[in-house]
Amino acid sequence: MSTHNPSSQEKSVEQNLAKDYVPKSKPGNLPISNQVDQAMKKKMEKTQKEIEKFKIEFLKKYKNTQSVGIIPQQAAKKIEEEYEISEDDSKRELIHILTIVPESQYKKIGQIKLDAIEIAKKINDKLWVHIMTPIDFWNLGLDSKFEVMEALAMSYPLHDKGFLGSVRVAQIHKSLVLKKFEKYVTSYVIGGSLTRGETIKTSDIDVFIVIDDTDVKRMPRMELKEKLRGIIYSYIGEAEAISGVKNKLSPQIYLMTEFWEAVKDAHPVMFSFIRDGIPLYDRGAFLPWKSLLRMGKIKPSPEAIDMFMSSGDKIKEIIDKKLFDIATLDLFWGISTPTQGLLMLYGQAPGNVYDTVKAFRETFVTKEKLIEKKYADILDNIAIKHFKAMEHGKIKPGDIKGEQVDKLRKDALDYIARLKELREQIEKRIQEKSIEQIYKDTFGMVGSLLKKKSEATIISEFDKKIIQKGKFPPRFLTNLKFIAKTRRDIAKTQLEKKKTTKKKDNLTFKQSQNVDQARKHAAEITTALIEHTQRCELASLEKSRFQIKSHDTQAEVFFLKNTFLVQPNQIQKISKDKLIKSTPKELQEQITTQGNKETKIDHKSLSTLHKIFGEFDLVY
């Protein structure tokens, strides 16, 4: 069995990681150094285009290809030695391209090689294509050809569905770990779904690192394991950054003594680890055990058999628990949260489970008649008869069967689909009600200003006293009429539909647009009216306000329906020849009522003030 001396190879890898292995451009482009002269730069650009052309033509013919990558120049010599490339060809400075095809194409690999060679020769006879399946790659590890494996793994990816990136990040992590403490590592093994050929986009890259603890004398073994674990995990981020593969690497670390103990008893985890694992580095701790396993020489202990068998005993418990969770928790939260959302849309605050079920039935089934009774029954069944029953311990895992879950699932999906329709109904019903509120608020405010009540009179007076006098722009009259017309049209349409169908239909799209437009017009009109009223009040305030000045008194006097005296921290009014306490609200109401009327000074009130304060000046 060959051993691996990482020093020279790893030094090469470490020196060139940033330069050759880190992507510096978009996939399909090779990093181009800014230090080379123009001639070399042109040559490299030409090579880039040729390699890209090869990739495109090859993938056009073999669309399911897993990976295409360029083997780094530093690794070319090792590859040429391994695959016995002639000295003459080697002198031609070949460009080695690694292509990984699916294992299912193994029987066609001869034809694939011929097609690849033909495509490469048409483009550039220096392109040397290596066609492999994943198993071909793993066999290098089983044959202890770790340096060849590493050279291939360091290929710069031009096209990759995950395989090349996975082995690349594992190889870089291995190099970093070995460089730090090679003497402690006996095996670095990649395994899991990747080596089984079952990997998917979200699969982790499982690696197993066996640490030699046989010569540990002063440090407790577990302390050694934890210290090395910390260092090994600290290299994950660096390896992922260099390889361009993120959130994938998942190392598991074992001491050699605990590893051998577990293997001896054929522990299920170790059994799977040895069966599926492929060494990226091994000093004789892993491959012998893998050979023994293949030969059937690893016999599990009775305890290990019990451990294997015990997993079957838990199947019923696991299935019952999952069915129970789906029927009680998952389905409940899946329908109760959107139900509460619709109640909130309607204007009701969400309550507890019982309140939610009750409010849904009373509001949408009984009162508004927007949804069929069966949907309230579905909510009741899932929320009360299953979820609350679970909370109260009335049903437990094992009480719910698969056919029940299937029925509940169908009901829940039907319920959610119907809830989406109900949302549209509620939103349109709200719009129907909102036009009434818009009309009431706008005409109420305008009518109050003009002291008119009927719609026709309000519009007529608004035109004469507001628009024609230039207080508001003419569009305000048009917009006020639009609000009134929108309300009439919707009321008329709903009345006609009610007579024919005995049921109110939702607003048409055009009507919904008109309601939105009416809302905008109303907001503009009411804002302008508020500002106008405030200006009028301010003008009225100034006309009716006077000041009293004497050697010891300073106050403001307002001659309104009553005469008000305003001093710091108090408001008073004259009543029956004396001052009594008043409020800001009463003063404001009288100022508003006064409006633009002429202000008349009440001489009787002046006489009263004279009696109270003595001589004073009245200043406007």
- Tens of pLDDT, residues 90-109: 888 899 999 999 998 888 99
Judge whether 250 and 205 are in contact, CB under 8 Å. Answer: yes
Q: Give one word for 538, left, alpha or beta, with left for phi > 0 and alpha for psi -120 to 50.
A: alpha
For the chain, state the CA radius of gyration. 43
pLDDT in tens, 457-498: 988 988 888 888 888 889 999 998 998 888 888 778 777 766
- What element of type H or E holds 351? none
- Residue 500: is its pLDDT beyond 80? no
**For the purposes of burial, counting CB atoms within 10 Å of the CB of 584, is it exposed (0-12), middle (13-18) or buried (19 or more)?**
exposed
C-alpha 295: how far from chain center: 50
Q: Determine the pLDDT at residue 512.
A: 72
Per the prediction, the chain carries an average pLDDT of: 82
- Residue 10: is its pLDDT beyond 80? no
Q: Is 164-313 a CATH 3.40.190.10 domain?
A: no
Give the pair of three-digit tokens for residue 425: 């109904």
Query: 338-343: long-range contacts at Cβ-Cβ below 8 A with a sequence spacing of 24 or more?
Result: 338/416, 338/419, 339/379, 339/419, 342/419, 342/422, 342/423, 342/426
pLDDT in tens, 187-232: 999 998 889 888 777 778 999 999 888 777 667 777 878 888 888 9
- What element of type H or E holds 381? none
- Residue 383: is its pLDDT beyond 60? yes
Judge whether 59 and 32 are in contact, CB under 8 Å. Answer: no
Q: How confident is the model at residue 529 (pLDDT cuts 50, 70, 90)?
A: confident
SS3 593: helix
SS3 617: strand
Q: Judging by DSSP bridges, how do beta strands 563-567 and 278-282 pair with one another? A: unpaired
pLDDT in tens, 362-371: 988 998 888 8
Euclidean distance between CA atoms 75 and 174, whole angstroms: 17
Asked which of 123-132, 205-214, 311-320, 593-602 is least confident by mean pLDDT, the reply is 593-602
- Residue 9: is its pLDDT beyond 60? no
What integer is the mean pLDDT of 232-240?
91
SS3 272: helix
pLDDT in tens, 453-465: 888 998 898 888 8
pLDDT in tens, 541-566: 666 778 888 777 778 888 888 888 88
- Residue 522: is its pLDDT beyond 80? yes
Helices (H), 124-220: 134-142, 146-153, 163-181, 193-196
| Residue 192 φ/ψ, nearest 5 degrees | 75, -155
pLDDT in tens, 401-432: 888 889 999 999 999 999 988 887 787 777 66
Q: Determine the pLDDT at residue 62.
A: 93
DSSP string, 68-131: EEEPPHHHHHHHHHHTT--HHHHHT--EEEEEE--GGGGGGHHHHHHHHHHHHHHH-TTEEEEE
Determine what percent of the chain is predicted with pLDDT higher than 70. 86
Q: Determine the pLDDT at residue 37.
A: 63
Q: How confident is the model at residue 24 (pLDDT cuts 50, 70, 90)?
A: very low
Q: Determine the pLDDT at residue 552.
A: 75
Residue extents of the structural domains in the chain: 1-161, 164-313, 315-400, 431-533, 550-619
- Residue 571: is its pLDDT beyond 80? yes
Q: Determine the pLDDT at residue 65.
A: 93
Asked which of 32-36, 245-249, 585-589 is least confident by mean pLDDT, the reply is 32-36
> Helix (H) and strand (E) counts for the chain?
25, 14
Q: Judging by DSSP bridges, how do beta strands 249-255 and 156-160 pair with one another? A: unpaired
Euclidean distance between CA atoms 31 and 70, whole angstroms: 12
**Is pLDDT larger for residue 144 or for residue 267?**
144
Euclidean distance between CA atoms 298 and 270, whole angstroms: 11
Place of tokens 């329908």: 335
Judge whether 72 and 155 are in contact, CB under 8 Å. Answer: yes
